[in-house]
């Protein structure tokens, strides 16, 4: 019987046991990388988001809002 992992489990399996430097490498190789890497970044962001208290979530939202305000629709990179 084949083992089936959902996307979250697969991403966690890939990064589990990584050193901080290994995690940095995974993230930096995913940022501005192929679109296939975006779900992995989403899973990582979800883990971080769940660990933030509401004040830090507000700071992240403000930072995201500022970055989005600088973009022109159709221009994904800054």
What confidence tens digit (pLDDT) does each residue in 31-68 have? Answer: 999 999 999 999 999 999 999 999 999 999 999 999 99
Percentage of the chain exceeding pLDDT 70: 91
Three-point CA angle 27, 29, 30, nearest 5°: 65
pTM reported for the whole predicted model: 0.78
* DSSP designation for 18: -
State in Å, rounded, how far the first CA of the chain is from the last one. Answer: 47
> What are the residues whose beta carbons fall under 8 Å from the beta carbon of 27, sequence distance 6 or more?
41, 44
């Amino acid at each position: 019987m084949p083992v089936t992992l959902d996307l979250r489990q697969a991403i966690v399996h890939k990064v589990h046991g990584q050193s901080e430097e290994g995690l940095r490498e995974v993230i930096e190789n995913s940022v501005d990388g192929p679109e296939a890497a975006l779900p992995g970044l989403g899973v990582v962001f979800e883990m971080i988001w769940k660990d933030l208290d509401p004040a830090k979530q507000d700071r992240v939202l403000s930072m995201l809002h500022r970055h989005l305000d600088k973009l022109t629709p159709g221009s994904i990179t800054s």
